[in-house]
Chain A
Amino acid sequence: MLKIKVFLKKNKFFVFIAPWLLGFLAFTLIPMVSSLVISFTEWNILTPPNYVGFANYQSVFNDPLFYKSLRVTLVYTLVSVPIHVCLSILIALLLNSEIKCINLYRTIYYLPAVVSGVVVSLLWSWIFNSEFGLLNNLLLKFGIEGPRWLSDEKWIMPAMIVMSVWGIGGSIIMYLSGLQGIPKYLYESAKLDGASWWTRLIKITIPSMSPVILFTTLTGVIGGLQTFTQAYVMTNGGPNNESLFYAFYVYKHAFVWKQMGKACALAWVLFIVIFILTIIILKISKSKVYYESREGGDIL
């Protein structure tokens, strides 16, 4: 008994972090290793798996739909994330001005961000309805005949991106708090030196917010590449697979066609894509992100 007590006291650190350590082993490390193993087998969950070597990876790289879903997902992510970042900064700048009712405005812009993905998808499939939907009826008021957003393969991706813009409130709030953290004297001295609005934006605001930009870009890219709900609820991947988001394609392999082996192989390919993109973003940002030194601010 005493021995246990001494042991616990000596390893206090591990006792406290035990829950996370256990979860890390059970829900992250072991599943990751086993998914790597499963990706080399053919398995329908019900019968025991068969080792098939690289067959799943071969089948992935010979699958035209794999390339299509990867392209769809990358286009969606690489177009929507920069749009989100620019719009969020712009709106955050506007919402940072000292005008009446500003809190009300901030709340309004944030509201869509708390809405569940299923609701967003259902609501927008109704908004995008080509005859009775809100969007095309509004466009008609301006004399524009709107396209068939969800059934025209040329318009499905713009529709998805438009829809995603509705939910940028979360990053607006981050940029707002980033803006509020910029010391006022920087602007004042820049003004005294005769710096224009644009110069102040480029030389002070953007560099000061670069950590937030990095954070929202990274989480945006990682999240965007895993888009699922829109495809599942709204389009079922169509039309002509133009909204076949990668995560939805993996889901279909795993749970519709019961091909766990190929699903795991697909998941690992996505992991590598995400990993490479993350490294690229971090590399680019390394020279550009400015960290203000502040007390106790370091991670470690």
Chain B
Amino acid sequence: MMGMTMKRKCLQIFTYIIISIGAILMLLPFVWMISTSLKEPLTVYEIPIRWIPEVFKVENYKRLFTDYNFGLYIFNSIKICILNILGNVISCSLVAYGFSFCKHRYKNKIFVLLLATMMLPGVVTFFPQFILFNYMGWYGTTLPLWVPAFTGSAFYIFLLRQFFLTIPSELIDAAKMDGCSDIKILFNIVLPMSKPALMVIVIYNFMAVWNDFFGPLIYIIKEEQRTVAVALNYLKSTYEGTSSIPITMAASVLLIIPSLLIYFFGQSYVSRGIVFKGVEK
């Protein structure tokens, strides 16, 4: 019996060592990014690596706002995020309600179609979408970046529907008996019960839109409409090579802070496994 606990202990220590090494490897790039972002341009070329800069050059961050207009870019990104989240929450709720509580002959067939679009690679639809938006005169505006959200997104609809189906149908039937309209049922009964699923959508959508690079890269031409992700890339290319490293790293840190905050704030929702109950199937 003694050997058993010893073996257990050893195994535990071994596990600790392995996951600690892994964790350090995962964290090092972050530390390196933050450390570089606080350095003088020339001190990044010091060997051996100096992890803690001699002088903390917080000015790199200040310059993003004073010299490079990042305040505006952050505002642009947030605006597009909010419009996307709003659009997706409203339309996905409606559509998921239709798929969960309305009856129709072709409901299942149409739902399979919806699932199939989830597997559709973006590459195929992206270029013709661009042509469509260009034709509509939306090229060079931010409209292509948020209007589609108001038609919902297959993945979020799927998640919400899986969640809606866990709501007892007796509840819905009782409300119908009392003469509640469908819209009332959706807003007064179904949605309040689905807060965790809605939170997951808000978090996922925020991260997807905030981090999106390809969309803004293609559609935005005016400097004053840029989002943070695109602005970061321009910042790098405005002065390729030389002294740009600390300031691009500072902008990188700035870009990931909101995602991290949202993640910490919403962690409990995401890790509760709501997503995977549905996805597994």
A residues sitting closer than 8 Å to B (CB atoms) are 12-20, 22-24, 26-28, 30-32, 34-35, 38, 45, 91, 94-95, 97, 99, 105-112, 114-119, 122-124, 126-127, 131-132, 134, 137, 166, 169, 173-174, 177-178, 180-181, 211-212, 215, 218, 222, 225-226, 228-229, 232-233, 246-247, 250, 254-255, 260, 263-264, 267-268, 270-271, 274, 278, 291, 296-300
| Total number of B residues with any Cβ neighbor in A under 8 Å | 93
Q: Indicate which residue in B15, B99, B252, B262 contacts A123 across the interface (CB closer than 8 Å).
A: B252
When chains A and B are docked, how far (Å) is the Cα of A127 from the Cα of B32? Answer: 8
Q: Which of chain B's residues have a CB closer than 8 A to the CB of A268?
A: 124
- B115 on the interface (CB 8 Å rule)? yes
Contact A114 B22 (CB under 8 A): no
B residues sitting closer than 8 Å to A (CB atoms) are 12, 15-16, 18-19, 22-23, 26-30, 32-33, 36, 44-45, 47-49, 91, 94-95, 97-99, 102-104, 107-108, 110-115, 117, 119-132, 134, 148, 150-152, 154, 157, 165-166, 182, 207, 210-211, 213-214, 217-218, 229-230, 232-233, 236, 245, 248-249, 252, 255-256, 259-260, 262-263, 267, 270-271, 273, 276-277, 279-281
Contact B255 A20 (CB under 8 A): no
Q: Residue on B with the closest CB to A124? A: B29
When chains A and B are docked, how far (Å) is the Cα of A236 from the Cα of B29? Answer: 22
A99 to chain B, nearest CB (A): 6
Top 10 nearest A-B pairs (CB, nearest first) are: A23-B151, A16-B98, A31-B128, A116-B211, A35-B128, A13-B104, A19-B91, A13-B102, A177-B273, A17-B98
Contact B152 A20 (CB under 8 A): yes
Most A C-beta atoms less than 10 A away, residue of B132, B255, B276 = B276
Q: Residue on B with the closest CB to A174? A: B276
Q: Residue on A with the closest CB to B217? A: A232
Q: Which of chain B's residues have a CB closer than 8 A to the CB of A212?
A: 276, 279-280
B195 to chain A, nearest CB (A): 19
When chains A and B are docked, how far (Å) is the Cα of A215 from the Cα of B118? Answer: 12
Contact B151 A19 (CB under 8 A): yes
Q: Which of chain B's residues have a CB closer than 8 A to the CB of A26?
A: 132, 151
Contact A28 B125 (CB under 8 A): yes
Q: What total of A-B pairs shows CB separation below 8 Å?
A: 247
When chains A and B are docked, how far (Å) is the Cα of A214 from the Cα of B132? Answer: 34
- CB-CB under 8 A for A137 and B47, given A13-B107, A17-B95, A119-B232: yes
Contact A108 B26 (CB under 8 A): yes
A100 to chain B, nearest CB (A): 9
B24 to chain A, nearest CB (A): 9
Q: Which of chain A's residues have a CB closer than 8 A to the CB of B94?
A: 16-19
When chains A and B are docked, how far (Å) is the Cα of A12 from the Cα of B97? Answer: 10
Contact B95 A38 (CB under 8 A): no
Contact A19 B125 (CB under 8 A): no
Q: Which of chain A's residues have a CB closer than 8 A to the CB of B123?
A: 226, 246-247, 250, 267, 270-271
Q: Which of chain A's residues have a CB closer than 8 A to the CB of B95?
A: 16-17, 19-20
When chains A and B are docked, how far (Å) is the Cα of A95 from the Cα of B272? Answer: 16
When chains A and B are docked, how far (Å) is the Cα of A173 from the Cα of B165? Answer: 24
A180 to chain B, nearest CB (A): 7
Most B C-beta atoms less than 10 A away, residue of A13, A134, A218 = A13
Contact B233 A118 (CB under 8 A): yes
Contact A31 B152 (CB under 8 A): no
A270 to chain B, nearest CB (A): 6
- CB-CB under 8 A for A14 and B104, given A116-B255, A132-B44, A299-B281: yes
Contact A45 B117 (CB under 8 A): no
B245 to chain A, nearest CB (A): 6
Q: Which of chain A's residues have a CB closer than 8 A to the CB of B132?
A: 26-27, 30-31, 34
- CB-CB under 8 A for A27 and B151, given A119-B232, A260-B127, A300-B108: yes
Q: Indicate which residue in B12, B125, B207 contacts A27 across the interface (CB closer than 8 Å).
A: B125
Q: List 19 A-B contacts (CB under 8 A).
A: A13-B107, A16-B102, A17-B98, A24-B113, A31-B125, A94-B19, A109-B22, A111-B26, A114-B260, A114-B263, A115-B259, A126-B32, A178-B280, A212-B276, A229-B213, A247-B123, A267-B127, A270-B121, A274-B121
Q: Residue on B with the closest CB to A119? A: B252
Q: Which of chain A's residues have a CB closer than 8 A to the CB of B23?
A: 105, 108-109
Contact B267 A107 (CB under 8 A): yes
Q: Which of chain A's residues have a CB closer than 8 A to the CB of B104?
A: 13-14
Q: Which of chain A's residues have a CB closer than 8 A to the CB of B255?
A: 116, 118-119
Q: Which of chain B's residues have a CB closer than 8 A to the CB of A132?
A: 44-45, 47
- CB-CB under 8 A for A134 and B29, given A107-B267, A229-B214, A267-B124: yes
